[in-house]
Chain A
Amino acid sequence: MFFRSISTLCLAVVAFPGGPMLRAEENVLSSMTEAVQAVFENTKASIVKIRSSDKHGRCVGSGFFVDPNGTIYTTYAVAGESDNITVEMGDRRYDAKRLVADPRSGVVLLKVDAKTPFLPIGKTAELSIASPVVAIGYPMDLPVTPTLGFIGGFDLKYLDRYFTTTHIRANVSVQRGESGAPLINTRGEVVGILISGLDGGSACYALPIEAAEKIRSDYVRYGEVRHGWIGITVRETTEKQAGSVAVIDELSERTPAAHSGIQKDDVLVRIGTVPVTKPEDVLNGSYFLTAGEDVSVGVVRGGENLTFTVPATEHPFSAKAREVKALTKTDFGENLSLTSGN
Chain B
Amino acid sequence: MDDEFKELQTLLRLKKYEQPSQGFDLYGERFLKEFHRRQRWEASRKMGFASVWEKLSGWLDDFTVPRYAYAAALAVFGAVALGINDLKPVESANLAVAVAAPAPVMVSQSRPALALNSPLDLSELEIQSQLTAGSQAGNSSLQPRYILDSRPASYDASFSF
Contacts and interface: CB of A to CB of B under 8 A. Distances in A.
B141 A282 contact: no
A157 B157 CA distance: 10
A176 B132 contact: no
A267 interface: no
A338 interface: no
Interface stretch (A6-14, A22-30, A57-65, A112-120): A57-65
A57 B156 CA distance: 31
B83 interface: no
A285 B30 CA distance: 110
19 contacts: A55-B133, A56-B133, A56-B140, A58-B144, A61-B146, A61-B147, A75-B147, A75-B149, A78-B147, A157-B157, A163-B153, A174-B148, A176-B147, A195-B149, A201-B148, A233-B159, A271-B161, A279-B159, A283-B157
Given A57-B136, A317-B116, A324-B120, A205 B152 contact: yes
A159 B152 CA distance: 12
A285 B157 CA distance: 13
Contacts of B41: none
A289 B161 contact: yes
Interface string B94-124: 0000000010111101010110110110100
A231 B144 CA distance: 43
A207 B150 CA distance: 14
Contact of B143 (A57, A178, A201, A327): A57
A56 B141 CA distance: 8
Interface stretch (A37-45, A89-97, A99-107): A99-107
A5 B104 CA distance: 59
A285 B155 CA distance: 15
A96 to B, nearest CB: 15
Contacts of A176: 104-107, 145-148
Contacts of A175: 146, 148
B154 interface: yes
A286 B6 CA distance: 141
B108 to A, nearest CB: 10
B160 interface: yes
Interface in A174-214: 174-180, 195-198, 201, 205, 207
A153 to B, nearest CB: 14
Nearest to B105: A176
B147 A77 contact: yes
B158 interface: yes
B126 to A, nearest CB: 8
Nearest to A165: B152
Which of B106, B148, B157, B159 counts the most A-chain CB atoms under 10 A from its CB?
A: B148
B67 interface: no
Given A286-B161, A317-B114, A324-B120, A56 B151 contact: no
A179 B149 contact: yes
A141 interface: yes
Contacts of A104: 114, 153
Contacts of A103: 111, 114, 153
A198 B146 CA distance: 16
CB-based closest 6 A-B pairs:
A57-B140, A286-B161, A177-B146, A176-B146, A162-B157, A161-B154
Given A55-B133, A179-B147, 5 more contacts: A139-B146, A141-B144, A141-B146, A174-B148, A177-B146
